[in-house]
Structure 1
Amino acid sequence: MTDVQTTLMLIDGELVEAASGKTLDSLNPATEEVIGRIPAGDKVDVDRAVVAATRAQLEWANTEISHRAERLRAVAARVAERAEEILRLEVLDTGNTITKMRGDVGMGIKVLEYYAGLGLELKGSTIPASQSNLHFSLREPYGVVGRIIPFNHPIMFALSRMAAPLMAGNAIIIKPPESSSLSAGILAEICRDELPPGLVNIITGLGTVAGDAIVRHPEVKRLAFIGSVPTGLAIQKAAAEVSVKHVSLELGGKNPMLIFPDIDPEVAATAAVSAMNFAWQGQSCGSCSRLLVHESLYDEVLKRIVEKTERLVIGDPLDPDSQMGPMNSRMQLDKVEHYVRTAHEDGARLMTGGERPPGAQFERGYWHQPTIFADVTPEMRIGHEEIFGPVLSVFRWKDEDEAIRIANSTEYGLTAAIWTNDLNAATRCIRRIKAGYVWVNGFSAHHLGTPFGGMGNSGLGREEGIEELLSYTETKTVHLALN
């Protein structure tokens, strides 16, 4: 039996319960056991947080860049000190495997330190528009910004996505995911100790309540969200009903991996299984969930993928030997099971998986086997709709034009991977594929300083580089008359 952890929110430098006194249970997705309780924040809590953030932001914007950097590095250092504690809690709360989640904590620290060093890039420019004036631009922070975090990488996204807004001089209100908020309690303690009161506020609760209150608050002029397309559309609509806001969205993906005939089948199969991110149960927006294999390699690559997938170790996410854990929630499991049924109805060929793993240890919890469907076409629902689960759809293609048509046959355009040793073919595909982030002979890796974001319905805006920092500022143009 796991101890039940009670967390608190952070508002105006204080750790507090929800004003209503209500809480939400946090369940271990491996066992469905209650492992924590989080405050169910609502509009009252958000209003208080905005007041505190507005006050704190004015002082923060007037601090030296070097001081902002110092405070971000202090937060990073405190996270590093508590990394093992955060890691264990994050694994219990999300179901993600501990080996991969260790990288999440480290990446959050690394991004804080990265943006701490970018402050001097918050510069404007001079424009020689006339000889009688000095024309120049300045960058100023928005003020109070809102950040809504997804359930698949809670601590990593909370840390990494508060870095640019703070460095740019904003205050921030963070809304953690309702199904995986326990690590946010530790982050609240760290921010309380290392940052001015009100600069960072953390409000837990339902997205339809606390999240909606943040989106609709007229004093929150800049919003950022990572999650599904339907929720992103709802955020855009709700925000526009209140006031003009700058909204950036990093939404879903149905990402293609193209395998050309010059790639070794073993290399292709290894890459395909790794790129599905089974260690996150496929719950990763960048997962290459559509595998497009040239017909000359199709049967051999498919055979090897099935063999490798069936060797994956499904088990306790806290066990370093586990290669895949449970889905994050009942809702996510139901969604995966729904899409498996539609795949059968649409005529896809099940190669492996497709159900709950056998064994008494998997009778409770949100478990699902890694699943491979072959002979998938773009018209099938698993061929063009995002599942966000451990289901790989394998397509066959004959010529490059057909491969590009399949790759671009969805509403999404987040990532793509191209596997070929032919530089000309790779270059053609880079230009023709609708995706904001493309790997050639690679997958999944994110590199600091390179802008990440999607095309089509995969989102608006770019993160993880200088563009993200600048996106948290507004440009002010000045014309200074010369005597």
Structure 2
Amino acid sequence: MPSDPMPPLGAVLPRHRDLYYAGAWQRPLAGGVTDLTSPGTGESLGTVADADATDAEAAILAARRGFAEWRDVAPLERAKILRRMAQIVRDNARDLALIDAADCGNPVTAMLGDADIASAQLDFFAGLVTEMKGASIPMGPNAVNFSMREPRGVVAKILPFNHPFMFCAGKIAAPLAAGNAVVVKPPEQAPLSSLRFAELIEGLLPEGVFNLVPGGRAVGEVLASHRHVAMVSLIGSVPTGRAVMRSAAETIKPMLLELGGKNALIAFPDADPRRVATALAAGMNFTWCGQSCGSTSRGFIHADIYEAVLAHLREACAAYRPGLPTHAETTMGAIVSRTQYDRILDFIGSARAEGARLVTGGGHPADPALAEGCFVEPTVFADVTPSMRIAREEIFGPVLAIASWTSEAAMLEEVNAVDYGLTCSIWTQDLDRAHRTARTVEAGFVWINEVSKHFLGAPFGGVKLSGLGREECLEELLAYTQEKNIHIALGPARPLCGAGA
């Protein structure tokens, strides 16, 4: 965080609160608006347009026209535009971070990191535009056969509330690099940074290539089912993923889904208890209140180091202090909404009732300055059994469930018993054990002696109910293309000039 003071919030909020499509700001056709409230303070952030199905259809029509132009822009020229977008993100990182802190509740310092990630993704996919390659297939002397990759068309992006700006700017990079047009549905709870991003890049892309439609379920249903949307991408909950799949089935369109997680951190007896405790706290993503699909919310700690890890874990959790999200010193933000806040407290109550041992946290912080906000302390329960709700259900909040184990086979069976399979973190100094465990766990992304980090170029995604497809890699770019095969029959061989002379 820079040492100079942050600008006033009112100076950085978006001036436009409407829809953005066809290269212009548009009023919602039915005139709907929705109120926004800051989860950290309970204060009003004003209103924003609430689109309906007719608005979504208008944006899709605009995107079709934009796609017709954008697909023919040379790949390297598209890359130049993406890099300019990345620089715009870097130049406005502080303002965008402050908007997200006020709107979604994550600490402003962490949101600066989100801006770095978004700009890196734009640069990364700009660098891959020449890798959308086909192949030639040998057919003998009388034919030429080759494949080529083409953009799909209009891509719908349905985004969640936990990283609003990062997902808006970063997740459009791959489809735009591939030559598609995008229609983005920002999160209902926190759309302001997406609106500001649209203001910042206005005029950079051909009209209709980037479109933004704030709204609720009706917008998502149209984007998923519309026959002129070629592909839909969702980051969200499993129920929302199922709804999108049902809608998309009407037009048999491909999907990229990053859904829920109930991820495990496994510690073997040779792991250092202090390092494991630090990893448990970091992997839980307490900074943004555990509101992350990839959070390692289940800890499986060998009995030999169990109590030592718990003792260090209290200290590790103390580094995450709930505070006002817009303050630079805050290390843990607010829950995004009152509804989600109440849901998390219900899970905490069920853990107490079912006999889990509270290690730390468990309630609203005592600081009077936080009384009006949706804050929950970093919460850790020990002695958790498989039958407890906090062991089975995704909470999407700052609640960590810890269990002790002695039988490796029984532990791994329990790790894989849930229907999710996004991430897993394994802690051991035994290389053979680490490799074998990584092969056994049912997860799409595994860390060994590491946690929480993503790496551009490394495919990120889940198995089972945690989703479909892979992101942050070449495979993501290729997913936004479709392969076409072209066969050319050659005419009879002609004699060379002067042959036989």
- Shorter-chain TM-score bucket reads over 0.9
Q: How far has the Cα of 1:459 moved from its partner?
A: 0.3
1:426 aligns with 2:438: no
Task: Give the equivalent residue in structure 2 for 1:182.
Answer: 192
1:277 aligns with 2:293: no
Q: Which amino acid aligns with 1:98?
A: V
Equivalent residue of 2:45, what SS? strand
Task: Give the equivalent residue in structure 1 for 2:234.
Answer: 225
Contact 2:296 2:424 in 1 (8 A): yes
Contact 2:118 2:170 in 1 (8 A): yes
Task: Give the equivalent residue in structure 1 for 2:264.
Answer: 256
Task: Give the equivalent residue in structure 1 for 2:36.
Answer: 26
Q: Which amino acid aligns with 1:192?
A: E
Q: How far has the Cα of 1:133 moved from its partner?
A: 2.5
Q: Which amino acid aligns with 2:430?
A: D
Q: How far has the Cα of 1:131 moved from its partner?
A: 5.0
Q: How far has the Cα of 1:129 moved from its partner?
A: 4.9
1:331 aligns with 2:336: no
Out of 465, 485, 488, the position equivalent to 1:457 is 465
Equivalent residue of 2:211, what SS? strand
Task: Give the equivalent residue in structure 2 for 1:216.
Answer: 225
Matches within 5 A, 1:293-332: 293-332=301-340
Q: Distance in 1 between matches of 2:322 and 2:256?
A: 36
Q: How far has the Cα of 1:337 moved from its partner?
A: 1.1
Q: Which amino acid aligns with 1:267?
A: R
Q: Distance in 2 between matches of 1:371 and 1:229?
A: 24
Equivalent residue of 1:35, what SS? strand
Q: How far has the Cα of 1:399 moved from its partner?
A: 2.7
* Mean CA deviation greater in 85-94 or 351-360: 351-360
Q: Which amino acid aligns with 2:55?
A: D
Equivalent residue of 1:193, what SS? coil
Q: How far has the Cα of 1:405 moved from its partner?
A: 1.3
Query: Against the structure 1 CA distance between its residues 480 and 464, is the aligned structure 2 distance closer, same or farther, given a 3 Å change threshold?
Result: same
Q: How far has the Cα of 1:187 moved from its partner?
A: 1.3
1:239 aligns with 2:229: no
Out of 435, 439, 448, the position equivalent to 1:440 is 448
Q: Which amino acid aligns with 1:109?
A: S
Query: Against the structure 1 CA distance between its residues 129 and 409, is the aligned structure 2 distance closer, same or farther, given a 3 Å change threshold?
Result: farther
Matches within 5 A, 1:129-148: 129-148=139-158
Q: Distance in 2 between matches of 1:2 and 1:438?
A: 39
Q: How far has the Cα of 1:212 moved from its partner?
A: 1.6
Q: Which amino acid aligns with 1:427?
A: H
Equivalent residue of 2:224, what SS? helix
Q: Distance in 2 between matches of 1:459 and 1:310?
A: 33
Task: Give the equivalent residue in structure 1 for 2:175.
Answer: 165
* Mean CA deviation greater in 398-407 or 262-271: 398-407
Task: Give the equivalent residue in structure 2 for 1:15.
Answer: 25
Equivalent residue of 1:29, what SS? coil
Q: How far has the Cα of 1:311 moved from its partner?
A: 4.8
Contact 1:9 1:188 in 2 (8 A): no
Q: Distance in 1 between matches of 2:481 and 2:300?
A: 40
Q: Which amino acid aligns with 1:235?
A: V
* Mean CA deviation greater in 107-116 or 350-359: 350-359
Task: Give the equivalent residue in structure 2 for 1:154.
Answer: 164
Query: Against the structure 1 CA distance between its residues 97 and 163, is the aligned structure 2 distance closer, same or farther, given a 3 Å change threshold?
Result: same
Q: Distance in 2 between matches of 1:128 and 1:201?
A: 42
Instruction: With the length of structure 2 as denominator, give the TM-score of the two structures.
Output: 0.93
Equivalent residue of 1:394, what SS? strand
Q: Distance in 2 between matches of 1:351 and 1:81?
A: 43
Deviation per residue, 1:236-260 (Å, 9 max, x gap)? 01221x3111111100111100111
Equivalent residue of 1:145, what SS? strand
Query: Against the structure 1 CA distance between its residues 13 and 311, is the aligned structure 2 distance closer, same or farther, given a 3 Å change threshold?
Result: closer
Larger Rg over CA atoms? 2
Q: Distance in 1 between matches of 2:46 and 2:294?
A: 29
Q: Which amino acid aligns with 2:266?
A: L
Q: Structure 2: where are the runs of 5+ without partners?
A: 1-7, 492-501
Contact 2:324 2:370 in 1 (8 A): no
Q: How far has the Cα of 1:69 moved from its partner?
A: 0.7
Q: Distance in 2 between matches of 1:14 and 1:384?
A: 46
Deviation per residue, 1:176-200 (Å, 9 max, x gap)? 0000100011111123221111000
Q: Percent of counterpart pairs with the same letter?
A: 42
Equivalent residue of 1:220, what SS? coil
Deviation per residue, 1:18-40 (Å, 9 max, x gap)? 12221111111011111132110
Q: Distance in 2 between matches of 1:210 and 1:420?
A: 47
Contact 1:26 1:179 in 2 (8 A): yes
Q: Distance in 2 between matches of 1:64 and 1:309?
A: 50
* Mean CA deviation greater in 196-205 or 28-37: 28-37
Task: Give the equivalent residue in structure 2 for 1:478.
Answer: 486
Deviation per residue, 1:414-462 (Å, 9 max, x gap)? 0000011100000010110000000000011111111100001000000
Q: Distance in 2 between matches of 1:414 and 1:148?
A: 19
Contact 1:258 1:291 in 2 (8 A): yes
Q: RMSD over aligned Cα, in angstroms?
A: 1.5
Equivalent residue of 2:203, what SS? helix
Q: How far has the Cα of 1:2 moved from its partner?
A: 6.7
Q: How far has the Cα of 1:150 moved from its partner?
A: 0.7
Contact 2:287 2:320 in 1 (8 A): no
Q: How far has the Cα of 1:130 moved from its partner?
A: 5.0
Deviation per residue, 1:54-88 (Å, 9 max, x gap)? 11111111111111111111212222222211111
Q: Distance in 1 between matches of 2:115 and 2:215?
A: 23
Deviation per residue, 1:152-187 (Å, 9 max, x gap)? 001111111101101111100000000010001111
Q: Distance in 2 between matches of 1:94 and 1:437?
A: 26
Equivalent residue of 1:150, what SS? coil
Task: Give the equivalent residue in structure 2 for 1:395.
Answer: 403
Contact 2:158 2:234 in 1 (8 A): yes
Out of 206, 228, 236, the position equivalent to 1:196 is 206
1:369 aligns with 2:377: yes
Task: Give the equivalent residue in structure 1 for 2:52.
Answer: 42
Q: Structure 1: where are the runs of 5+ without partners?
A: none
Equivalent residue of 1:261, what SS? coil
Q: Which amino acid aligns with 1:21?
A: G
